[in-house]
Structure 1
Amino acid sequence: MNTTPTSVEPLSDKLTELATYDPNHLLDSLIDKLQLKNDAALSRALEVAPPVISKIRHRRLPVGASLLIRMHEISDLTIGELRGLMGDRRGKFRISDKQFKPKSEI
């Protein structure tokens, strides 16, 4: 059994490790601000399937950029405020340069 840590970890493990990351606070705050009853109503307001909200709550799915923008559109909270609600305190968000490289042809 190999016990050495690998440099490539699943995203869900990384999200679980982040002590300050709390998507539940973000989702609960949106439900309160929009005066919604529950996650199902929130999913309808955000125009996403209910399992998306569930996966975010259980930290199996991160809050993506498009969902964050949609939250901004329906709540009038700034992106910074929304990120703050979920515990993202980074000053800048950097995208890896690997994401901009074209895929090599097979």
Structure 2
Amino acid sequence: MKNSPVLSIVVFSVLRLAAFLVPFTLMMMLPAFAGLWWLAALFAALIGLSISVLFLRRPLADATTAMANRRAARTAAAEKPRSEREIEDEIEDAANDEAQQG
């Protein structure tokens, strides 16, 4: 059974947050980073980015595929087929424009 699109996006987001929050929490427990929370946040962001690039390729691919599929479905649903009357009106307008020009 295939995962739902929303589930893959949520899984990637949670894993990405964990890749930042775990190193940040561990660094904040160290006495060296007690007063330098911004430095701990910077290092945690770099560590989280590295973990994401190295280990979260598949969840990222699943999330981006799910988002692309949702967008394609939304645009396909938004494009309604033209009626026969609209097509005839366009042909008539083109013929009138051509007759006026030449």
Instruction: Report if TM-score (shorter chain) is over 0.5.
Output: no
Identify the structure with the greater helix proportion: 2
When the two structures are superposed, what TM-score results if normalisation uses the length of structure 1? 0.30
